[in-house]
Structures are given as structure tokens and as C-alpha cells.
Structure 1
Amino acid sequence: MTLVSPAPPPTCREQAQTEGAGGRASPPAPRKMQFFGRLVNTLNSVTNLFSNPFRVKEVAVADYVSSGRIREEGQLVLFQNFPSRTWDCILVNPRNSQNGFRLFQLERETDALVNFQHYSIQLPPFYESSSQVLNVEALQQLTDLIRSHPSWSAAHLAVELGIRECFHHSHIISCANSRENEEGCTPLHLACRKGDGEILAELVQYCHAQMDVTDNNGETAFHYAVQGDNSQVLQLLGKNASAGLNRVNNQGQTPLHLACQMGKQEMVRVLLLCNARCNIMGPSGYPIHTAMKFSHKGCAEMIISMDSSQIHSKDPRYGASPLHWAKNAEMARMLLKRGCDVNGTSSLGNTALHVAVMRNRLDCVMALLTYGANANARGEQGNTPLHLAMSKDNVEMIKALIVFGAEVDTPNDLGETPAFIASKISKLVTRKTLLTLLKNVGADHRLPLTQGAPSEQGSTATHHSLFSQERSQPPPISLNNLELQDIMHISRARKPAFILSSMRDEKRTHDHLLCLDGGGVKGLVIIQLLIAIEKASGVATKDLFDWVAGTSTGGILALAILHSKSMAYMRSVYFRMKDEVFRGSRPYESGPLEEFLKREFGEHTKMTDVKKPKVMLTGTLSDRQPAELHLFRNYEAPECVREPRFSQNINLKPPTQPSAGVASCPEQWGSPHLLPAQRALPGRRAAGQQSHAGRHDRDP
């Protein structure tokens, strides 16, 4: 049914123009005309405010004694007001028949009859069930809703009006599951959108509203509740089992998909507590894939905490894991810390590292590499991440891949090496930079590099000038120091194979000692050297040396060697330490380092748990003044086994006796023991000196 509004009366401006049409006065000046126009517009606005024919007004019923009654339905009466030549709709107050409310005053009878008919259907349930409706403000809101939404049922109007008593009326109960024509919403949909938990409870408990009814977009009340801000509404819906909880809309999204897309962590939590399923496919895969796609960390964490298997789920379109969908380092680390397979492949054979390189996400690439991503994994068409990185004009990303072991001479299925792909880049500056970089790390020019490299003018050349016919030799080293020249001469004379064989000789009469210096994150240089040694020898560092000594960051490396951790793994660990431990400016906080070492080496691990190789670490006893040197080791000190062969000087005083928590016997001060963490030197100068002086002898 269509409501008809009367034609508006002529404005003051129109009347002024009509009256002035037959006059003889000359037109006013332009400025005066503009002022007059603004004044008329203002008066017109005020006039319309008070002359709104649908403005509700409280009236006395006695004022209409002389008016004719045209229609009457219950408490509604349509009068013909003879003095004003209008048709007035009056709602007689059921609790005081002397007073009433004028609902409209129209100039055309047809319009009045149409609106009266509609009011007579919608209004009775409200004034019959609640006295809260019988005031000007409530009636104005109600009648405005009736005219604005002609397809709404009385139950829809009751939800928007928000008066609970109305839901006990039989007519409103009968309309509880009706759908309006605009969006196909039921009253329950509107209550969820509004976020009114009290009205929702009335609909569910008294009106028995169905929760699995869908609107024109296929969305249930759960979808509407997710889009609101009141999680209690969702909790009320979830108290009763309903198929609407896991129903997909026309876009293939369940309420859980929608909550993950919108980043509403609390809604995700409530849905999961209501037993929402995590294994329903949507347009982007499972809900966790949606959370990763839109980078909503909290939503993804909530899903994983409820169903840990979701971390390995594959989306239907690409066969990709949630890690493939990670768009930043934070999201990637969150998954990797929870055990996501860093080298898992999609249906095309690409790893998450391939995807991160293709999307040019350097921070994500670094996070994946530091958690053990294979820099030489072959994906679609046999491309490694380095092949893909060559076309992204991101030198830092290429350097990162090379540092983490990417092979520069590996061909793809088309026989193209990374250097060959770099030679085809049209941007001259980028091409030269990449080729020079690859040349410095030993890229082989004899692979397809010489075929089709573009010249500076963009034409195809047959050979690139940056590479010679033989593998390039390292630049000469200037040796001004005679001692250094002798060392270099001996090193060149004794081939690596001879040196390594002597280290593995069981009949040798000497031990091999590895001494590791400190320097914070500069320990990465030491790690790279040890990686080269492991690569040349084919033997783990632990099996090459009998003794390992370290200080500061070298002490951490010594512990890693003691616990058989590879140097490639420690390289990743050190990059993570840079972000997790060495934060801010010096002095660094000791807490992050302590937690980091506990996680890597075990909270209750002691130095004496592993006997070989022999390890000694320098530390500082900081619970005394002045602080004293302390050696952590996994072997008994010689002075504890036998008396020294030299005579002791009576003038030499024994070490200062430590405070509580340290071994009380002086003979045990040099042996492995437990020191309280608060004795550690505040502010880490280097990784070993304060941390190893604290609790890190038991949790290396």
C-alpha cells in the first residue's frame, strides 16, 4: 500500500511574485533581492516546520464535536474538519476519552483515507498493549516509521520502537517471523542489527522467532549480530541450537567468515563458544584464511586456540595454507610460533616464501627466512624464490635470500638462472646492480646468461660485458704486515682438505679449540664463517672441535654448538634475536634474553648435561663489589681434582665469598652452579656477560 502525501501549499516567495506581477513598482536592486530571497527561505523553513500535516499534536476531543465523522476503527476516528477544510485523524486516548492525539491533518480526502486505513491496521497492537505509546514523542516516531516503511509488520515496528510490553500482544506475536519487502529482514534481523538484547530476548522467548530465516542476501540473524557492536546479542542467539549459526550467505560466508573479515575478535570468540564450525569453505577458504587475508591477528589466534588443526588447512582455490596468506611479518610470526609448516606448498608447488617474494613483501620474507624457510625451494616452473626476486627490483630482498643460502646458479625448468633473469631486466641501473651483485657471490656466467641479454638501448645482445669467459677471481688483498703475509702464505700452502683431515685424525696428540668473540649481533659474521667451515668439511662444528670457549654473543654460539644446533639454524635465531632481544638502545633489558635462551636451550638445562665438547663461558658475578670473573663450564676444574704444583703466596687473598644463592664452599666457586637472576649485571653490554652470570648456566 502506498501512502500519498498532499501537494505542498504555495510558498511565500511564490505569493510575493504573484502579487507583484501586476504592480507598477520597479524591481529592487540585486543586493536587496538576495537578502529578500534569503529571508523568504528562512520564513518558509519555519512555516513548514509548524505546518507539517503529519505532525502529532495533543488535542481535546471536544474540539471536533461539530466535525463530521468519516471513518472509525477502534480508537481511531477520521474527522472532516469543516472550519479548516481538512481531514483529521484522531487517536482517542483509551485511558482518557476526553483527550486525543491528532495524527495527521490533510487537505485531500483520498490521501486521508489511505493513511487512515494503514494506521488502523498498525496502531491498535501498540496502544492496546502499552501506555508508553500514548505520548506525542512515541506516536510521532511510530507514525513516521509506518509511513517510511510501509511493508513493515507490527513486529518490525515494535522492534524499532523498542517497547518490550508490545511483544506480548497476540498480533505482534503472529508477525514475529514475517519478512519485509525492502531487504527481506525479519524482526529478529532488525533486533540484531540494532543490538538490543532485551528486545531480542522477547522475540526469542515470547514470540518464538526463528533464527535460521534468511534475508534477500541469504543472511541469518547471526550475520546481522556479527555486524553489530553488542556481543551479548550473539550470546543470546547462541544459547539455542540453530542451523543459522553456520549458514552461508549469497557470498558464501558464514557468520564466522564475516567476523574474521571485519576483524571483530570478540564476535569470533563468541561464535566459537557457540560451536561455530571452522571447517566450512568460503570464497577465500576457511575462516582462518579470511582472517589472514585481512590481517586480523586476533581473529586468527582465536581460531587456532579453539582448533589447532586450522593452522594446516588448505584453501580451495590455491591449495594454500594460512601462511601463504600472511601479508606482513607479524602475521607470519604468529603462525610460525604455533608450528605452521614454513615450507608447506600450495597446489602449484609454491611455498609461502615464493608468495611473499612475488608480492614484494620484504618484512614477510625476512620473517620466513629466520624461521627456516628453504631459500632454494623449487616452485611453479621450477623457480626458486631468487628467480622470482630478480624481477621485483628489490635489491635488499635479493641480498637477504643470498645471505640465507639461495643458490645463484640454480636453473629453473626453462634453464634460466637468476643471473639470466636479471640480465633481461629493461632498467639499466637495476640490471647492472643485480649482475654485479651476482658476480661478486660467484654466479656462473656460462649458464644461459650470454643468450639474449638486452643492451643499454634495449636491443638484444649476445654477451653481457659484466661477465668474463672465466669465473671471476677475488680481488687482490693488500698485505702490508709481514706477519699477516706469513699467515696467508701458510693458509694457501695447506689446502682445506689437509687441514680438515688433520682435525679428524684420531691419532693426533693435540686438541682443537674454537674461541668465539663477542659483539652482539655481529656474531652473525662468526656464524657465516662457521657455516662455511661446515660446508667445506661436511661435518658439524661440534664434531670438529674438542674445546669451545666464548664470551658475550660468542657464549651463546658456544652453547648452541654444545647442544648440536646447526649454524644455519643459529643464523635464523640471531636474526630473531635482533627483533626480540636487542630492542631499543643500550643498555638492553635482560628479561627478553633470558626468556629467549630458555626457549632455545630449555628452562632446566644445566651446563653439565652435555659433556662433549668441553665448553667454557665467561661471565660476571655482579652480586659483589667489585664484580668478579666467573667461568661457566661443563667439566670439573683442575684445581678441584688435585693440588696445584706451584706454592701458594700467603699474600694472595681468596675470592670474595658470594652472597646467598651461590655455592658456599670456596672450592666449588669455579664449578657449575646456580646463580639467582637478580645477581645478573643490569643492562646487557653483550649477550653473555650479564645473562650467563645469572641463571643461564642452567638454561643455556
Structure 2
Amino acid sequence: MTSWLGSIGLTAGGLMLRNLLSSEPNPNKVLDVKSVQYSDRDVHCRDDAMVLYISKNNNYEIVLQRPCTETLHQSFSLYRSKELSDAEIRFLQLKDKLPPLITIAKEVYNLNGIQKLCDILREHPSWTLAHLAAYFPLNDHFQDPLILSILNAPDENTGISPLQLAVKNGNLRTVQQILAAGASLEHLDYEANTVFHYAAATSKEIIQALSALSTKCLNLRNFKGYTPLHMACLADKPDCVKALLRAGADVNIAATEATSSPNNTPPGYVIDFLQDHPNKLYAQDMKFGGTPLHWSCSREVINTLVDMGCDIDSLNFDKRTALHVMVLRHRLDCVVALLSRGARADLGDKEGNTPLHLAAREGNTAVVQALIVFGADLSYRNNTGAMPRHCVITGNDKLLYILHAVGAPRCPKDMQGCNPGCSGMEREFNGIPPATPPSASTRAIIDQVPAVMLTVSGMGVAQSVKRNTGRIKGGRLLCLDGGGIRGMILAEILLELEKRAGKSLVQCFDWIAGTSTGGILALGLAAGKTLKECLYIYFRMKDLAFVGARPYSSEPLENMLKECLGSDSVMASVTHPKVMITGVLADPEACRPVLVNITVTRVMITGVLADRKPVDLHLFRNYPSPSTLLIIEPNGLFRPPPLPEEQLMWRAARATGAAPSYFRSFGRFLDGGLVANNPTLDAMTEIHEYNLAMEATGKGAQACPLTLVVSLGTGLVPITQVTHIYAGCGNENPIIKITALVSKTDLGTMAQYYLQANVSLKEIDVFRPESLWDTARLAMGMSSLGQLLVDQATASDGRVVDRARAWCSMIGVPYYRFTPQMSEDIAMDERSDEKLVNMLWETRAYTHANRHVLNELVALLNRD
């Protein structure tokens, strides 16, 4: 036992334990003593009221004597030791601090006060009088000349200033008193911490008191690379985080390992946001760091913060972006908002996991689909070598198929921990696909062989023409159907085509024709927007334009069109490709003359002139029309639309997108989809007439016949059964009762369905109903019949495609048609993120399944 105690005595912990077990009093305990006790002792050294005594048995003791004006008898024993060196060191620590302080602040001259002073000086011997005044706190004495003279003096060991110490202790009144005394807010301690770094873990009131005087050091990094905002996040102090943001903290400064590392990201300040939305941030996520984007809970907050300059790809302490966090929180609207504002989907966190890895692990189907359609890398490996497919939890067969259907690769054969769905050794199980939507299967089977034969026939004729006349360059036509928000499908297909072509899409085509949403997309491409930017715009447009009840206000849509296409850009400024846009005409003042200011491709956009009967198809062009080339003067009662040099691009886009009941008409124009929802035949006709006009005007060398037609649709809706369409009622039996399998967008001709239902055309008779019940049935029947007529008028598939394919085959032009089968009918004004990302995933799966056709098309495009 004795040897054990002896060994303990050799360590610091042992010394502490020995002091506890010893019967001797603690040498640092302050004792109340009488001065007469030391009359027989020798003075080793003296400084003012402090004396170091030595006894006859060589014990040393430091005694503080009260001023003789107060008492001649009471004193305090501060320290006792048998070692002279220890006593001398302690004496030097106390002599310059204790006597002056008790002279300034007499309220601390008591046993308890002196004990606290001695204890803190033993722990922090390099503190100044100002530090001691800040620590205790002696708020009434900061104006004392002695304390004022050292108010900004740092601790020699740590560099902390008295103000920083007061802030660290969280005493607001002390902080206010020191600030009133003129303390500096620009002091840095030896770890480069500012006063705001210390305030970050205290209270919002202290931050407000400091920032009211100066914010010069608010965004400085310390040696660990943290700003005060980072420190508040680490301390899990949401109120301090918000206070720093209100003070002007830059949310875009990343945590790095050096204070001097450059910050190339523009500053981001969210002061106004927090003033307007004080409770819109998720405080529980603040402790992980990042920016307010990481702490957002809604699409509106994210859009606001991005507009205010928050770095969308900034990292938190786990090296995760806001997109990572939203995936983990299962916030689909926030995920889509971030992706549609350009957030990178392929950034790995500290474990190398991308948002897609995390979404696959979480099993969130809609989030996985969103990441896929925005281009997430399906083969990205994390730090363990796992790809997203590997992260799918066993049993989530639907999610496994979602990844498989778009080409997510399996793991290599040597990968450990694989399940049957990702193992490189087993390739049979790929998940469970969703139910196949009902489609025009009979028609598809009948058309399969003719379609292939027509395409091959067209390519064969084209090859024969080239052998006889030489290589023909140009003449490549891209046609984009209408369909409202389903224009996203067009962008998704074109993204895949552009990826495989390895060059910008506008370099692949010489003519672009578009109707409605397809026309807007065509103009966006002609104006220099990338396909990804166009997809982003669609997601933003649905939230801004489809607000309230139909018909929607046109102002948000028009503002977006001006922003994207330019408020002054005109059609003639686009020089390549030629662009055709359709629309319907109604107001002579719909388009105003402006200056030409950009140069790009031939574009034609369809519109409908609705100020006449019958209505007329109009093509918005960026090139002279055949009539202009032939100098054919317009005649009739109606003023002709503006020339390409006068036609504003955004007005053309607005005119072609003026879908009845969704938006008000645009002057004399209505949506081009009313006449040419699939603009392929109209575009081919236009190109043929244009070439004839060039020949007739002696410019035959510039004429270029069609060499390729690519037509893109906005999706095939599932076939649904329409039972009982009443067009008039009399007595007990309906005049018209049509039962057929019909699609809302592919109805064929009216006669076709009458024949399918075994109803002769002469049975169509609408007459005065004979009862109230007949009136109700008549109203429902007329509504259904009206819907059928509208759907047929705007049909873009079925026989419309058959005619275009046959025409191309006859003239020897290869024809490609791409439009995916959708699992549900997506409304033109659909806003649901879940439905839209599923629609786009189906498009991506469709392009993957038809990749051989896309590759064949790319070979033709690159050949020219």
C-alpha cells in the first residue's frame, strides 16, 4: 500500500489526490489571519500591501494586508509553501494584480472575493486587471484610468482581449460597459478569432450589441477556417445564427483550413429575407453548418435565397450541399427547386455519396426520379466503390427498376455486399416494373412493319439521290409538338440526343419548327439557351404562370418570356437555324416594330390568326417568307403580321402559347396548336415552298431540299374508355351514344369513331330537349362532344404522324418520331412535382430503351 501511494505521488493527479487525503490545509486556500501572527517572521520580500514571509522552520507564506487606514489587524493568507521558488512565482503573479484591483473595487476585498481572485489568477496568471474586471464582472469600474489604459491589452498566452472574455462569458451588461469604454472590435486572438467568433456561442442580444457598432470583422475566418456563422452552427445556436445573418454574415464563405484561402464565390447576404421571414428556417439543421439553403423547408424559401445570392452548391461540415440535405429530409419540392436552379447533382459528401446515393438508400422514389431526370451520374462511385444501384435496400424492387430502366450499371463482380439486383454475378433480376399503361396496342402492332418499311424506304431513296447528285448538306428539320407543361418531355429527349451527338443541338439542325410549348422551346434554343436551362425554365414557369384559376394571368408568363428571350430581340436576329413558329391572328397591334440585335438558326413558330373566319395558320419566321421572296403583295381586309425584322421574339412565343381557356388570347393570335399541334407537315410544306421561291428568284444554289425530319411529341396519354357521349336527347333514348376506346390526344377522325360504335352519321341530331333531365343530359353530352372535337383538332399523333412518315418515305427523306408512352394523362398546366418527375423519368426510360434508334439518328446528324 505504501509503495502504491508513493507511485501516485509522482504524478500530477497523484499530487491532487495526496492533497485531498492530507490533513494539511490547501496551500491555495485564502485564510483570514491576524497581522500580529507574523511579528516574529522575517520578510523575504514586500510589495505595497503584499508580503512574502519566511518562518523559522523555512515555511513561506504570502500575506495580503489591508490598508492601515482601514484596519491594523485583519489580513489574508493567500498562499503557503515549503518551496521558496513556488512562493516567489506565486508572489509575482499576485503582486501587480491583487492590490491594485482591491484598491479600485473595494467590494471584492473579502474572504470570498479574494479567494476567487486568487483562483482565477492561478488559472490565468497572464490576465490583466481589465480581464479580471471583465470576468467577475466589475461593471462600474471600466472607466477607471488604470483599467482604461489596458482595456485592449491581450492575454499574453491566448491573445484574448477583455472584450472577448466578457463576450465569451455571455454577460451582456459587461459587454455594453466595455464597449462604452471604447474597446476595439477588431482585435484578433492568437487563433484569429474575432469578437464575433466568441459571440457566436452566446446570445443574439450580444451579437446585436456588437454589430450595432461595427461589422468589419463579421466574416473573417479563424485559423480553423471558420467564420462566426460557422461557429454559431457548430454550437447549435439557431438564434445566434439568425442574429449573425441579420447583421450581414456572408453565407457563401466556405469553411476551410486557412484564413487566407481565397473565396471566389460572390458574397451572399440574407438580411432582408430574415426580416421578412423570421421563422422560415429549420433550426435543427443549423448545427451541421452550411448556408440558409441547407436549413430551408420550402421551395419559396429556396428560390428567395438563391435570388439573394446564396451559393447553391456550398458545403456544410459534412461536405454536403443543400441538395444532399433536402434528399435526406425527403423534401421533393426543395429538391426540384434546387435542381431547377442549377444545383450540381454529382457532388460527393465526406463519404463520397452523391444525392442519388442517399436517395437510393432512403428509398424515396420521386426524389430518385428527380435526380435522374436532371442528369445525376448513375455510375458515380462513393468512397467504398458503391454506385447508386448498390445503395438500394433489398426489397425495394420498384426503385431498383427505376434505376435499371434508365441504364444504372450493376456493381463489378468483385464488389462485396451486393444483392441480386446489383450484383455483377447475377444479371437476371432487375426489379419489378410498374404496370403497363393501356395504349393503342392494336394500332401499334399493325403499324410496326409499315413504319419500319417506310423509314427504311425513305433512307434508301435518300441514299440513291445522294449517289446521283452528290452529298447534300443542310435540310435537317426538327419539329416540336405542343402540349403545355409537357414540353419538358421535348427538352428531356433533346438532352439525350445532344448528349449522344456530342455537340450543341442547334448545330445539328438547319430548320426548327415548333408549336405552342414546342415553339417556345425552339425560340429558347435559337436565343442561345441550353437545353438544361430550358428544362429549368419549365419548372420555374409552372410555379409562376399556373397560379390561381383559369384563365391564368398572362403577366408572369410574359415576364419570363422577356427575361429568357430578351425584351427587344426580334425574329430576324436568329440566322441559324431557320425557325418556324405557328400562331392564330386577332389584333393588328399585337406586334410592334423593333431593332434586330442577335444572330443565330431558321425557326418557324406556328400561330393561329383568329380575327377572321375561317381562322388562318400563321408562321412566325426568322427568315423571309416565300411570299416575300416572290414579292407577292398581301391583299384583303386584314393587315399582315410584322416582318421578321419587326417581330419581337417574346411576342411570337406568347402568341404561339395562347392556349384557349389557359391564357387569354394575345391580340389577334391564338395558340398554334389549334391548327398545327404537330407542325411537321406544315414545316415540310413551308420548306418546299421556300425552295421553290428561291429557284424562282434565281437563288436556286441557296435552296436546300429536306434531308432529314425529326419529330418530337409531348407524350402519348393512356387509352381510356369513353362510354356514352350524348349529343342530344329525346324521349328515352339518346340520339348519339358512342362507345369506343379513345385517347384524349389521338382520336383519329370523327367518322372513324362513329363507325367503331356502329352509329351512322345520319343519327347525329341535336334538338330541343323535352324535359329537365334531357337538358342536363344534353349539357353533359355537348361538353363531351366539344372535348372530343378539341382533342381531334389538336391531335399530334396517330394519323398525323402516319401522313408525315408516308410523305417523307415518298420523297426519300429519313423520318424519326419520338414520343414516350405516359402512365397517366398529364394536364397542360400540371404543377405536381411528383407527377412531372415521373413523366420525365418515363421519358428517360423511353430514350434508354430506344438508344439504338437515337444512335442511328446521331450517325445521320454527324454525317452531314
Under a length normalisation based on structure 2, what TM-score does the superposition of the two structures give?
Answer: 0.42
Partner of 1:440: 405
CA distance in 2 between partners of 1:602 and 1:671 (Å): 15
How much has 1:447 moved relative to structure 2? Answer: 3.5
Identity, % of aligned pairs? 28
Q: 2:359 aligns with which of 378, 386, 389?
A: 389
How much has 1:461 moved relative to structure 2? Answer: 13
CA distance in 2 between partners of 1:349 and 1:212 (Å): 37
The 8 Å contact of residues 474 and 509 in structure 2, kept in 1 or not, is answered as no
1:237-252 alignment, distance < 5 Å: 242-244=183-185
CA distance in 1 between partners of 2:401 and 2:204 (Å): 45
For structure 2, the residue ranges without an aligned partner over 5 or more in a row are 1-69, 71-105, 110-129, 155-159, 269-288, 591-608, 612-616, 669-864
Partner of 1:184: 137
For structure 1, the residue ranges without an aligned partner over 5 or more in a row are 1-116, 118-149, 154-176, 190-202, 656-665, 695-700
Partner SS, residue 513 of structure 1: strand
1:672 aligns with 2:640: no
Partner of 2:796: none
Partner of 1:165: none
1:637 aligns with 2:611: no
1:303 aligns with 2:248: yes
1:16-35 alignment, distance < 5 Å: none
Note closer, same or farther for the CA distance 1:242–1:261 as it changes in structure 2 (3 Å cut): closer
CA distance in 2 between partners of 1:406 and 1:394 (Å): 15
Instruction: Output one character per residue of 1:186-208: Cα deviation in whole Å (capped at 9) or x when no partner.
Output: 2599xxxxxxxxxxxxx99xx99
CA distance in 1 between partners of 2:458 and 2:244 (Å): 57
1:366 aligns with 2:336: yes
Note closer, same or farther for the CA distance 1:570–1:209 as it changes in structure 2 (3 Å cut): farther
How much has 1:566 moved relative to structure 2? Answer: 2.3
The 8 Å contact of residues 512 and 578 in structure 2, kept in 1 or not, is answered as yes
Note closer, same or farther for the CA distance 1:276–1:268 as it changes in structure 2 (3 Å cut): farther
Q: 1:467 aligns with which of 426, 430, 435?
A: 430
How much has 1:633 moved relative to structure 2? Answer: 3.2
Note closer, same or farther for the CA distance 1:260–1:400 as it changes in structure 2 (3 Å cut): farther
CA distance in 1 between partners of 2:502 and 2:369 (Å): 25
Which residue identity lines up with residue 523 of structure 2 in the other structure? L
The 8 Å contact of residues 513 and 546 in structure 1, kept in 2 or not, is answered as yes
Note closer, same or farther for the CA distance 1:218–1:583 as it changes in structure 2 (3 Å cut): farther
Which residue identity lines up with residue 395 of structure 1 in the other structure? T
Note closer, same or farther for the CA distance 1:254–1:397 as it changes in structure 2 (3 Å cut): farther
Instruction: Output one character per residue of 1:600-625: Cα deviation in whole Å (capped at 9) or x when no partner.
Output: 34444333333111223345655779
CA distance in 1 between partners of 2:353 and 2:131 (Å): 58
The 8 Å contact of residues 614 and 633 in structure 1, kept in 2 or not, is answered as yes
Q: 1:608 aligns with which of 544, 547, 572?
A: 572
How much has 1:558 moved relative to structure 2? Answer: 1.2
Instruction: Output one character per residue of 1:550-579: Cα deviation in whole Å (capped at 9) or x when no partner.
Output: 333323211221023221232223223333
Q: 2:443 aligns with which of 456, 481, 506?
A: 481
1:514 aligns with 2:478: yes
How much has 1:404 moved relative to structure 2? Answer: 1.4
Which residue identity lines up with residue 513 of structure 2 in the other structure? A
CA distance in 2 between partners of 1:451 and 1:272 (Å): 59
Partner SS, residue 653 of structure 1: coil
Q: 2:220 aligns with which of 279, 282, 288?
A: 279
Note closer, same or farther for the CA distance 1:228–1:606 as it changes in structure 2 (3 Å cut): farther
How much has 1:690 moved relative to structure 2? Answer: 6.5
How much has 1:403 moved relative to structure 2? Answer: 1.4
Partner SS, residue 616 of structure 1: strand
Partner SS, residue 535 of structure 1: helix
Which residue identity lines up with residue 550 of structure 1 in the other structure? G
Partner of 1:327: 295
Partner of 1:591: 555
CA distance in 2 between partners of 1:464 and 1:559 (Å): 44
Q: 1:653 aligns with which of 617, 622, 637?
A: 637
Partner SS, residue 489 of structure 2: helix
How much has 1:527 moved relative to structure 2? Answer: 0.9
The 8 Å contact of residues 511 and 547 in structure 1, kept in 2 or not, is answered as yes
Partner SS, residue 248 of structure 2: helix
Partner of 1:404: 374
The 8 Å contact of residues 586 and 685 in structure 1, kept in 2 or not, is answered as no
Note closer, same or farther for the CA distance 1:263–1:421 as it changes in structure 2 (3 Å cut): same
1:158-237 alignment, distance < 5 Å: 184=137, 186-187=139-140, 220=163
How much has 1:286 moved relative to structure 2? Answer: 1.5
CA distance in 1 between partners of 2:163 and 2:551 (Å): 56
The 8 Å contact of residues 552 and 689 in structure 1, kept in 2 or not, is answered as no
Note closer, same or farther for the CA distance 1:414–1:313 as it changes in structure 2 (3 Å cut): closer
CA distance in 2 between partners of 1:365 and 1:494 (Å): 46
The 8 Å contact of residues 571 and 648 in structure 2, kept in 1 or not, is answered as no
Under a length normalisation based on structure 1, what TM-score does the superposition of the two structures give?
Answer: 0.51
Q: Could you say which structure has the greater relative contact order, defined with CA pairs below 8 angstroms and 6 or more residues apart?
A: 2
Partner of 1:533: 497
CA distance in 1 between partners of 2:560 and 2:182 (Å): 45
Note closer, same or farther for the CA distance 1:313–1:383 as it changes in structure 2 (3 Å cut): closer
Instruction: Output one character per residue of 1:151-190: Cα deviation in whole Å (capped at 9) or x when no partner.
Output: 699xxxxxxxxxxxxxxxxxxxxxxx9988995162599x
CA distance in 1 between partners of 2:358 and 2:348 (Å): 11
Note closer, same or farther for the CA distance 1:436–1:355 as it changes in structure 2 (3 Å cut): same
How much has 1:210 moved relative to structure 2? Answer: 9.8
CA distance in 1 between partners of 2:202 and 2:543 (Å): 29
The 8 Å contact of residues 342 and 536 in structure 2, kept in 1 or not, is answered as yes
The 8 Å contact of residues 358 and 388 in structure 1, kept in 2 or not, is answered as yes
How much has 1:522 moved relative to structure 2? Answer: 1.6
CA distance in 1 between partners of 2:530 and 2:207 (Å): 42
How much has 1:525 moved relative to structure 2? Answer: 1.0
CA distance in 2 between partners of 1:494 and 1:303 (Å): 68
Note closer, same or farther for the CA distance 1:638–1:249 as it changes in structure 2 (3 Å cut): same
Instruction: Output one character per residue of 1:457-483: Cα deviation in whole Å (capped at 9) or x when no partner.
Output: xxx998586339xx99x9998642277
CA distance in 2 between partners of 1:589 and 1:249 (Å): 60
